[in-house]
Chains A and B, each alone.
Chain A
């Protein structure tokens, strides 16, 4: 018997008993819906987290070296880090480590008072080398970005974020105005494009950039760095470079194992992936729901098919009498079970994707449609039908046509 014919036959049979067919589909539908929704929402969340993280770090092709051991938490700032990373360390990394394209220096502090005339606000102040802004994808909305000359000449110039514009210059163009950062006057040279919110939902625009040497010599009066950012030639294989930087810094800082490192190297992409994978408790629960629903669904298919086989003894007898082999009968019932399961699965996919899309839209997440998941869902539902249809099909195939026709 040709498989196309068998499928048509199965669909006809299923259509003749819609209530039973729907009951058979239900468990599989719930299971597959749960599976699809979970995968889709998981992917949406992951994409969104990565996007937010990227907005914060700018780009993924960098490693950040911060002072202190790995156990030190939170964002580094001048008030919290030990003074172990020097400008000379940054220069040494740039000069000596292969695979590092360029190195940027950062010296930052949070909650610094900033004033313009009678208006005041607080801001994060980042003293950065000019290449850092480029490396991290900071763009200027108006005015100019910090230049190498600004840094070399210790110019008191600042590039300000949108929150600072809102706070200090609600009705004015800030370009060319003089702000006081911790009582030191700076000229506003440029305004940054907004970056929106970071992973925690807080604004990334409450920030002011100044040249790092100006920060070190004319504002903070500190000679150590809070972060050294190294851009890699090959961001997909950072391990060797990270190891080389560690070795160099240990040597320069006179650290001999088992002595603890006084710096930590963080790989931006690895961090982001790690953060994105967290928060999958919901996923685990939904996987459980999916598995249980599919087992129940399969069992329902099996029971109802067994009943159907008993009720259709005569039909089976007739089919055997007119020439169906055992395999033909077996195939018919297996395909019937697989067909009903796949129909349930397709309904589940539609339901799951619909639900996930709705959820994503409500939370303003990107809608993620994962073709792999859909493919897997279809295969899983075929599998459920075949596995749980096996016993009924076997029973049907072994009905004695003489008995069946006599009954």
Chain B
């Protein structure tokens, strides 16, 4: 699914001095894996996330997504990749304000070039447990519910990869736990999921954990996933 080799990312600060956010990062993620990328702020995990999510390009090294080297892709090509292959879930939900839950779920379909399928959007809302909330405005939903809408949105174009950036960061522990359970279920249904977090408890849900520190992969280990304890 993902092959990253000798990835390096260097930024220039305002004064022109270069800052290396990622150096010599290499790893693979197979289809169907549930991986957490854990690291403190400033560790380079956001940079890695942006590159994996095709929002940004590496300075050097290669990034293969579903067998395709996308490291040198243009802005437009990356937009199409994000549309088709990646479902984003954000810490702050990032739903469109003054818009209903259903309309939010439909947004990615606007850009896929296909007809917007309202029934599919409704089915996805049902899948995340919000069957009755489709007509509600985002402001009428709780944080946990908003994150569920965001997950349904991420699934709208059937992407092979689900990318969640601190999905529980803005939620209380109960809501956070239930979101992680939802992601675990989606993983169990066969989806590839990457969760970026700084939180060890969240990281414990995944079957594999990548620890990133100072721009390098400091640890890559398999673990007994908390998901194994969730009844199917």
Contact = CB atoms under 8 A, between A and B. Distances in A.
A88 to B, nearest CB: 86
Which residue among A317, A319, A327 has the maximum number of chain B CB atoms within 10 Å of its CB?
A: A319
Contacts of B178: none
B231 to A, nearest CB: 32
Contact of A319 (B98, B107, B112, B154): B107
A322 to B, nearest CB: 4
A323 B84 contact: yes
Contacts of A362: none
Interface in B87-116: 88, 90, 94-99, 107-108, 110-112, 116
Nearest to A5: B110
A269 interface: no
B157 A5 contact: no
Nearest to B112: A323
Interface in A284-329: 314-315, 317-328
Interface residues of B, number: 29
A333 to B, nearest CB: 14
Contacts of B90: 405
Interface in A379-407: 401-402, 405
B96 A318 contact: yes
A323 B153 CA distance: 12
A318 B107 contact: yes
A321 B111 contact: no
Interface in A101-147: none
B55 interface: yes
Contact of A16 (B79, B84, B98, B107): B98
Contacts of B116: 5
Contact of A322 (B50, B75, B97, B153): B153
Nearest to A324: B111
Most chain A beta-carbon neighbours within 10 Å: one of B56, B79, B82, B98 = B79
B6 interface: no
A152 B76 CA distance: 93
Nearest to A404: B94
B94 A325 contact: no
A328 B111 contact: yes
A1 interface: yes
A16 B98 CA distance: 7
A405 B90 CA distance: 9
B94 A405 contact: yes
Interface in B151-185: 153-154, 156-157
Contacts of B75: 325-326
A127 B189 CA distance: 106
A193 B14 CA distance: 91
Given A314-B94, A405-B94, A322 B55 contact: no
Contact of B50 (A5, A320, A402): A402
22 contacts: A318-B94, A318-B95, A318-B107, A319-B107, A320-B82, A321-B53, A321-B82, A322-B108, A322-B111, A323-B84, A323-B111, A323-B112, A323-B157, A324-B83, A324-B110, A325-B75, A325-B80, A326-B79, A328-B110, A328-B111, A402-B55, A405-B94
